[in-house]
Structure 1
């Protein structure tokens, strides 16, 4: 158990590392089912739905793009840090697949890290996107023991101006082949991962997403009647209510309203991983073609220079190099330390893969510093 007195001791230490905390994904076909079993452990998701999602991965060769994208993110951050004089090693640990978070925290302890900042590859507050990662970190630290570093997360950034600018630029690029008339008649469709209503009701997920969409739309000159926030990639039991409308139903609605030009922006995702590639580039794109829609999809922020600069700014806020905490719109900057009951899970806490033995029987030796 990590005690509060230990935290007070660590608080006197400067930050000496950055930890990128991500979801994880399979790197080869034989990883797909063990990975999905880790993801869905303790959750009421039918097995047939898991097997359906597995086919999405097999469709792309059994490999998720998310791990390579995190590597690219870390590479860009290392360059940004070097150019800005920030001397922090960068580590990477996942919730559901290698490098697993517990093994990364163990390696950090072995290499003498005492107090680290954590950046989550999730931009919005909800149980799965924030609190669960914090619980994963607590479990990993307890598994490592007394030598585990203190790990504190950076704040949420849904209304950071650089995040908004990066997303707006991605949309401008996506719409650039269109004529002026097509752009003037276009509808912006922002998408995010659907979550159970019981989870959404206990967080600011929809509030933050709506603000992000409003700010991006304003930056592009789109009035409220010309943009929508919709959801994708729902799982769970059919009888459980999740956030709606679904992207496919939304496209049908646009068709019925005689809207023909649709620009889809997956602002709920930071990189073009499996949900984006399959649910948007395959399913939504096909439906749009069948409906006769002029459909484009913007890239996620990924390694956009503005997004990388934003992460640097979040780090600078915490290491004492930046006093201004940037935020635009209706709400101010998010808290650094989450309130005790922030984003609680509605009916208990499911077991997660971050603090259990690896499903493939290995010892997790792929955890590493990047």
Structure 2
């Protein structure tokens, strides 16, 4: 990097969702996640039990720390002198505390890598809100924070998922591999929220369109042209429509169609969060066993060395002003032409009626 680039950015913040790291954290964490969303207490109790099944610990923070170690090594290897910080939306280390520490360390202009590859409110706009909230908490001389672009169709992301699909296929009995159904799954969101995501002229549905595009690219990479896209982990009030079908309901369809096995790819997740290890490794796997079909779950890309390499490439792309490295044919909706922060109204939150 030249001197001008060195002065432009002086740190990288990895910004994530957060998760409990001991049993006493679980309920306060869930209350943070669902605040203002009208989620009934009994639903929180049920989800809390999922965490307690794993000792009250979510894998997400440890996985993110491992990712950061990889990113630091990639940056050093490329001669990029950016210290890496870690902050969360919903649990410690909270992003407000991290940005305060960055300020105290003398950071003035930082890049932000979100652990969400997507557009839409939850996948993108909410991270911008996290950034704004943290800067407001620090005050007028808070570091500037520039979020990196969406990366759902980055070549390294697609390659990591494609190799993981191949590896999952090898877990199945030899006689069923070629007849296994490939099923992609991502976190469900309210139908209205998805419809409103994206510049109105582009027709909305930014999140689900990007998930569909990423699924198509990964399926194409492994030579599959007929696959399914389903959803998981809905958490809202039952009267609010969310994207469906749910993965467990869909396995009924897979079994009824005569498929002897399912290869389930958590395309919507970069790491084995609790939503992956509970909804897929526990509930969906049990459902498949009940139906008498083999089940192979595809690994998430966060542990693949190419993931940290991708982050380094996103940083270099932003520093140099290069064109985004992408495989998709969809426009990079939710970003400006150079892949920088979201376009106006790209993923605005849906306004809920009072009392909901």
User: Quick check: TM above 0.5?
Assistant: yes
The C-alpha deviation readout for 1:98-131, integer Å capped at 9, x for no partner, is: 0001111111111111100001001111211211
- Return the alpha-carbon distance in structure 2 between the equivalents of residues 131 and 348 of structure 1: 17
Matched, 1:48 2:35: no
- Return the alpha-carbon distance in structure 2 between the equivalents of residues 154 and 259 of structure 1: 40
Check whether the contact 1:93–1:101 (CA below 8 A) recurs between aligned residues.
yes
Structure 2: runs of 5 or more not aligned: 198-205
Partner of 1:212: 214
- Return the alpha-carbon distance in structure 2 between the equivalents of residues 172 and 160 of structure 1: 19
Partner of 1:339: 343
Equivalent residues in 2 for 1:1-370, closer than 5 Å? 13-178=7-172, 181-203=175-197, 204-224=206-226, 227-320=227-320, 323-333=322-332, 335-347=339-351
State the SS of the aligned residue for 1:347. coil
- Return the alpha-carbon distance in structure 1 between the equivalents of residues 176 and 225 of structure 2: 16
Consecutive aligned runs of 4 or more in structure 1 exceeding 6 Å deviation:
none
State the SS of the aligned residue for 1:176. helix
State the SS of the aligned residue for 1:192. strand
Check whether the contact 1:74–1:90 (CA below 8 A) recurs between aligned residues.
yes
The C-alpha deviation readout for 1:190-244, integer Å capped at 9, x for no partner, is: 01000101111122000000000000000000013xx111000111111110000
The C-alpha deviation readout for 1:228-269, integer Å capped at 9, x for no partner, is: 110001111111100001001110001111111210000101
Q: Offset at 1:165?
A: 0.3
Distance 1:102 1:121, change over 3 A: same
Q: Offset at 1:177?
A: 3.2
Check whether the contact 1:13–1:114 (CA below 8 A) recurs between aligned residues.
no
- Return the alpha-carbon distance in structure 2 between the equivalents of residues 17 and 304 of structure 1: 23
- Return the alpha-carbon distance in structure 2 between the equivalents of residues 252 and 275 of structure 1: 20
Partner of 2:202: none
State the SS of the aligned residue for 2:13. strand
- Return the alpha-carbon distance in structure 2 between the equivalents of residues 59 and 304 of structure 1: 26
RMSD of the TM alignment (CA)? 1.9
Check whether the contact 2:117–2:151 (CA below 8 A) recurs between aligned residues.
yes
Q: Offset at 1:183?
A: 2.6
**TM-score of the superposed pair, with normalisation by structure 1:** 0.88
State the SS of the aligned residue for 1:190. strand
Bigger relative contact order (CA 8 A; separation at least 6) = 1
Q: Offset at 1:307?
A: 1.6
